[in-house]
């Protein structure tokens, strides 16, 4: 089995997944002016109210006009975004409002629509906190990347070109981050999925796992580079990937199994979170088998010097 030979095909597959994601990030940005993703109240600030009606559920227009009545200069909550949750509930997103206003709105809903109203969930975040959390989230991702890069560099310090391993692992990790953020951007564009604190948690977990997987492959490369000094680098790397292939797939499957049970049985509130994790972990395994060690080979052969030549051949 030769997994290193057709490395450019695997790189191409990755690009085919990542590029649409980037396009949709741009489309989201053009649409909302907020950024590449639809941000949830955790990052953008605002209020999210999820209510269940025990009697008949009013129409979304009724709710919107009710919000308009309560809108004021300090709390401009008119024009909320209203989505159905199941048959009897709504999720309503608006600008930030206080608990007091929410209490008044819920009371008014009960009298006007003559139905008992159950507040399933209410989240209200001020815009300044949202902005700060967004900055900190970016910082958290960078800090994680830097810490992991440093650790790999240290763990592989006895191998020739230790920094190559760290850099390749970070590239593979960025690949997974782009896949996850891209998929979220696409889902946001079509289904209105918003990135919240849980999305950030999923993203950081994917980063951890991506590196986890890559390190197992690199560790084999490290071990084999001492054993097979006479063998060509490309062959040695391929051998290492093949040797760890069973493990990569088995681990991937067990994690996938547990995540699938969470998607199927784990309830609505974490479904987005788990689906993003599933995609990220799949991408992590893909990049550790088909991208990470291949980058080492590209680097070792300094292949970028002949990239244009290669392309001509491919076209032919």
Residues 180-219 that bind another protein (CB under 8 A): 197-198, 200-201, 204-205, 207-209, 211-213, 215-216, 219
Of 190, 265, 308, 316, the residue at the interface with another protein (CB under 8 A) is: 265
Of 162, 262, 298, 300, the residue at the interface with another protein (CB under 8 A) is: 262
CA angle 66, 68, 69 (to 5 degrees): 70
Of 261, 307, 310, 314, the residue at the interface with another protein (CB under 8 A) is: 261
Of 22, 27, 144, 298, the residue at the interface with another protein (CB under 8 A) is: 144
Residues 2-31 that bind another protein (CB under 8 A): none
For residues 87 and 97, give the distance between their C-alpha atoms in angstroms, rounded to a whole number: 26
Of 10, 29, 70, 122, the residue at the interface with another protein (CB under 8 A) is: 122
CB of 31 to another protein, least distance (A): 26
Find where tokens 């979304």 sit: 60
Q: Which C-beta is closer to another protein: that of 167 or that of 251? A: 251
Give how many residues touch another protein by CB under 8 A: 72
CB of 251 to another protein, least distance (A): 4
| Residue 56 CB contacts under 8 Å (≥ 6 apart), including other chains | 113, 115
Site string for another protein, 220-249 (x = CB under 8 A): x-xx-------------------xx-xx--
- Long-range contacts from 276-280, C-beta under 8 angstroms, 24+ separation: 276/180, 276/183, 276/184, 276/199, 276/202, 276/203, 276/206, 277/202, 277/205, 277/206, 279/179, 279/180, 279/183, 280/176, 280/179, 280/180, 280/202, 280/203, 280/205, 280/206, 280/209, 280/210
Residues 51-70 that bind another protein (CB under 8 A): 52
Tell me if residue 48 falls in helix, strand or coil: strand
Cα 154 to chain centroid, rounded: 27
Q: Which C-beta is closer to another protein: that of 247 or that of 311? A: 247
Q: Which C-beta is closer to another protein: that of 178 or that of 276? A: 276
Of 30, 190, 227, 267, the residue at the interface with another protein (CB under 8 A) is: 267
> Which two tokens mark 92?
């309503």
Q: Which stretch binds another protein (CB under 8 A): 29-37, 175-183, 270-278, 302-310?
A: 270-278
Contact between 159 and another protein (CB under 8 A)? no
What letters, b where the CB count within 10 A reaches 16 and e where it falls short, cover 92-105? bbbbbbeeebbeeb
Cβ-in-10-Å burial (0-12, 13-18, 19+) of 281 comes to buried
The alpha-helical segments, DSSP class H, found in 120-196 are: 127-155, 162-191
> Which two tokens mark 44?
């953008």
Of 72, 84, 114, 128, the residue at the interface with another protein (CB under 8 A) is: 128
CB of 130 to another protein, least distance (A): 9
Site string for another protein, 90-109 (x = CB under 8 A): --------xxx-xx------
CB of 293 to another protein, least distance (A): 14
- Count of C-beta atoms within a 10 Å radius of residue 115: 18
Of 4, 77, 137, 187, the residue at the interface with another protein (CB under 8 A) is: 137
CB of 55 to another protein, least distance (A): 16
Task: Rounding to the nearest 10 degrees, give the CA dihedral for residues 282, 288, 291, 295.
Answer: 160
């Amino acid at each position: 089995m030769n997994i290193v030979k057709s490395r450019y095909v695997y790189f191409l597959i990755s690009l085919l997944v990542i590029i649409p994601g980037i396009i949709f990030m741009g489309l989201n940005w053009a649409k909302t002016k907020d950024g590449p993703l639809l941000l949830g109240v955790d990052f953008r600030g605002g209020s999210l109210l999820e209510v269940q009606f025990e009697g008949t559920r009013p129409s979304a227009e009724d709710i919107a006009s009710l919000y308009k009545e309560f809108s004021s200069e300090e709390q401009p909550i008119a024009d909320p975004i209203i989505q159905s949750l199941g048959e009897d509930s709504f999720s309503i997103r608006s600008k930030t409002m206080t608990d007091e206003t929410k209490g008044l709105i819920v009371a008014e809903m009960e009298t006007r629509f003559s139905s008992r109203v159950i507040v399933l969930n209410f989240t209200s975040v001020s815009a300044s906190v949202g902005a700060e959390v967004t900055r900190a989230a970016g910082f958290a991702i960078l800090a994680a990347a830097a810490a992991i890069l440093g650790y790999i560099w240290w763990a592989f310090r006895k191998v020739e070109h230790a920094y190559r391993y760290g850099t390749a692992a970070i590239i593979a990790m960025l690949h997974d981050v782009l896949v996850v953020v891209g998929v979220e951007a696409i889902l946001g564009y079509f289904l209105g999925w918003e990135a919240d604190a849980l999305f950030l948690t999923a993203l950081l977990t994917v980063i951890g796992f991506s590196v986890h997987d890559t390190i197992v492959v690199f560790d084999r490369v490290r071990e084999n580079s001492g054993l097979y000094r006479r063998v060509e680098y490309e062959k040695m790397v391929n051998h290492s990937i093949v040797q760890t292939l069973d493990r990569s797939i088995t681990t991937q499957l067990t994690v996938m199994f547990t995540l699938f049970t969470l998607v199927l049985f784990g309830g609505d509130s974490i479904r987005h979170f788990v689906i993003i994790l599933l995609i990220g972990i799949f991408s992590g395994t893909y990049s550790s088998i088909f991208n990470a060690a291949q980058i080492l080979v590209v680097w070792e052969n300094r292949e970028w010097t002949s990239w244009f030549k290669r392309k001509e051949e491919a076209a032919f």
